[in-house]
Amino acid sequence: MSNNPGPWTVEDILKATGGRLVSGHERTQCQGVSTDSRTTRAGDLFVAIAGETYDGHSFLQQAVDRGAQGVLVAEAYVRSPSSISPGEGLWIAVPDTLRALGDLAAFCRRQSGLSVVAITGTNGKTTTKEMTAEVLSQSFSVLRTPGNFNNLVGLPLTLLSLSDRREWAVLEIAMNHPGEIRRLAEIADPDIGVITNIEAGHLEGVKDIDGVMEAKGELLDVLGQDRIAVLNADDERVCRLAERFPGRVVTFGIQSSAEVWGTPLSQTRAGSSFDLSWYDETVRVSLKIPGRGAIYNALAAAAVGYRVGLSIEDVKKGLEGTVSLPGRMEITTLSGGIHLINDTYNANSGSVAAAIETLGTLKSQGRGIVVIGDMLELGEHAQRAHKQIGIMAARAGMSGLYATGEFAATVAEGAVGAGMAPRRVFTGTKEQIVEVLKDRLAPGDWVLVKGSHRMAMDQVVDRLRLDMGCDPKQQRKNP
């Protein structure tokens, strides 16, 4: 990805990164920052990031050929006998290019003067980010994280795209190991930090749910007493973090007493409705996104709007203008009146439980069918977590369970052990599941498809849509 605006002077780059000018002139200016040689533009500074799959140092020549004004490389690469000679081009060396990218973004954020909201949590980060951006957009010019640019590359690239006309940035922050949120928060330097919830996700990197809590708490550690935390009053572990936060806390919730609260009213395939309240004000909100989780996301966004002084009507308008993102509770009606819920973007224990709960509400008197792929990054907790999925599906009264992946048999064991008839449980490949489902589905059925992103469960959704067709009269697909 390439980011502009610029320009970046060599002096600014060296000041931001603590780097060393290897070659080139101090008067050189770069117009943007790029980490991908395929999208590098003329005038860019190309930052060579060493990732899990590719090392940007292998693409220095390609970046220069595309017009890069200069390159930022690792000191170790400069000292390597196989490195490309810098010649007369602009080369800057740093100990760690990934850290230097973050340092450039932090420098840009400090120079901008804008305000920042940083959002983390196990589930609902991206939807909350979208809702918060829509709410703030009612009164301000807002930059938001594109897609899920929520890691040590994506978040800096978002900040590096800042322009003078932006007043707020709404940034999503994720992690899969301790210390990552702390570093991202240091780069973003947020004025408001939001924690949506704390569930059992990314356990492989943090061992257990208390490890998740400590990792999410890094955001509050960076905020400090001069900033604001927007926290879920209904989440026990979030409340424990609130107790040790020295700054101003704004709470949101449904079950507990909170400054900003919601009263759920109805769930339909068209969305969710609830009454939003603060102080003595209440307004009816109709979301275009179904599920209880969507209401919590909306309350978090509303709490941000409340804290910055927006009217409750403006908050309502922003929330009702937010649409479902691809792969997140995205509903399509197939030919024959079969309803397909695409919630394949990602999965952990909490999000699967929420999705099954929503399916139970939406199906009404129809049959509920769960198609599930593995939940990843659970480490030693994987076996127990997948067995629990089967138990949840059985106890929720689901009419069918179809599982694929390494833990499919474990999911099936949990379901049968909790009372689901073995004939209603199927394990196999994604292709086999599609073929069996097509023969078994009937009008009025509701099918939930879910799994971790790398399981590519969206392929099941795409095949069902292709083979069974969408009903042009009844289709309801959130844009």
Taken as a whole, the chain contains a residue count of 479
Mean pLDDT of the chain: 92
Q: How many CA atoms lie within 13 A of 444 on its CB side?
A: 5
- The topology under which CATH files domain 330-468 is Protein-Tyrosine Phosphatase; Chain A (3.90.190)
Mean pLDDT of 349-370: 94
Per-residue pLDDT at 432: 97
Per-residue pLDDT at 477: 41
Residue 348 and residue 200: Cα distance in Å, rounded?
7
139-174: pLDDT as tens digits: 999 999 887 789 999 999 999 988 778 899 999 999
190-249: pLDDT as tens digits: 999 999 999 887 677 778 899 999 999 999 999 989 999 999 999 999 999 999 999 999
Residue 164: φ, ψ to 5°: -65, -25
Angle between helices 382-395 and 408-417 (to 10 degrees): 40
Residue 236 and residue 234: Cα distance in Å, rounded?
6
In the predicted model, is pLDDT for residue 56 greater than 80? yes
412-431: pLDDT as tens digits: 999 999 999 999 999 999 99
Per-residue pLDDT at 87: 76
**12 DSSP 8-state letter:** H
DSSP 185-251: HHHH--SEEEE----S-SHHHHSSHHHHHHHHHHHHHHH-TTSEEEEETT-HHHHHHHHT--SEEEE
> For residue 105, with 0-12 CB atoms within 10 Å meaning exposed, 13-18 middle and 19 or more buried, which class applies?
buried
Question: Whole-prediction pTM value?
Answer: 0.91
In the predicted model, is pLDDT for residue 273 greater than 50? yes
- Domain borders along the chain are 2-95, 113-320, 330-468
**Nearest CA among 255, 177, 162 for reference residue 211:** 177
Dihedral sign computed on CA atoms, order 283, 289, 290, 295? negative
In the predicted model, is pLDDT for residue 355 greater than 60? yes
Per-residue pLDDT at 6: 64
Query: Tokens 């929503």 label which residue?
Result: 358
Residue 62 and residue 199: Cα distance in Å, rounded?
43
Highest mean pLDDT among 68-82, 304-318, 342-356: 304-318
Pair of tokens at residue 222: 């960076």
Strand runs labelled E in 61-196: 70-74, 90-94, 115-120, 142-144, 168-172, 192-195
Residue 231 and residue 406: Cα distance in Å, rounded?
36
Residues β-bridged to residue 119: 172, 194
Q: Is there a cis peptide before residue 7, judged by omega within 30 degrees of 0?
A: yes
Mean pLDDT of 38-45: 95
**Nearest CA among 212, 189, 187, 188 for reference residue 199:** 212
**Residues contacting 345, CB < 8 A, separation 6+:** 126, 325, 326, 327, 328, 453
Per-residue pLDDT at 475: 41
Per-residue pLDDT at 2: 52
The answer to whether domain 2-95 and domain 113-320 are alike in fold is: no
94-121: pLDDT as tens digits: 999 999 999 999 999 999 889 999 999 9
Long-range pairs, 263-266, Cβ under 8 A, ≥24: 264/292, 264/295
Per-residue pLDDT at 207: 81
Residue 328 CA, chain-centre distance (Å), reads: 11
Residue 4's pLDDT band (cuts 50, 70, 90) = low
In the predicted model, is pLDDT for residue 7 greater than 70? yes
**Residues contacting 86, CB < 8 A, separation 6+:** 22, 23, 24, 78
Per-residue pLDDT at 252: 98
Mean pLDDT of 6-32: 93
Long-range pairs, 267-274, Cβ under 8 A, ≥24: 267/291, 267/292, 267/358, 267/361, 267/362, 268/362, 269/331, 269/339, 269/362, 269/476, 270/476, 271/478, 274/298
CATH class of 113-320: alpha beta
- The topology under which CATH files domain 2-95 is 3.40.1390
Per-residue pLDDT at 28: 92
In the predicted model, is pLDDT for residue 256 greater than 80? no
Q: Give the count of beta carbons closer than 10 Å to the beta carbon of residue 375.
A: 27
**Residues contacting 297, CB < 8 A, separation 6+:** 124, 127, 128, 131, 196, 289
Residue 210 and residue 216: Cα distance in Å, rounded?
10
430-452: pLDDT as tens digits: 999 999 999 999 999 999 999 99
DSSP 280-300: TEEEEEEESS-SHHHHHHHHH
> For residue 434, with 0-12 CB atoms within 10 Å meaning exposed, 13-18 middle and 19 or more buried, which class applies?
buried
In the predicted model, is pLDDT for residue 476 greater than 60? no
Pair of tokens at residue 28: 């050189």
Decide: 265 and 273 in contact? Cβ < 8 Å: yes
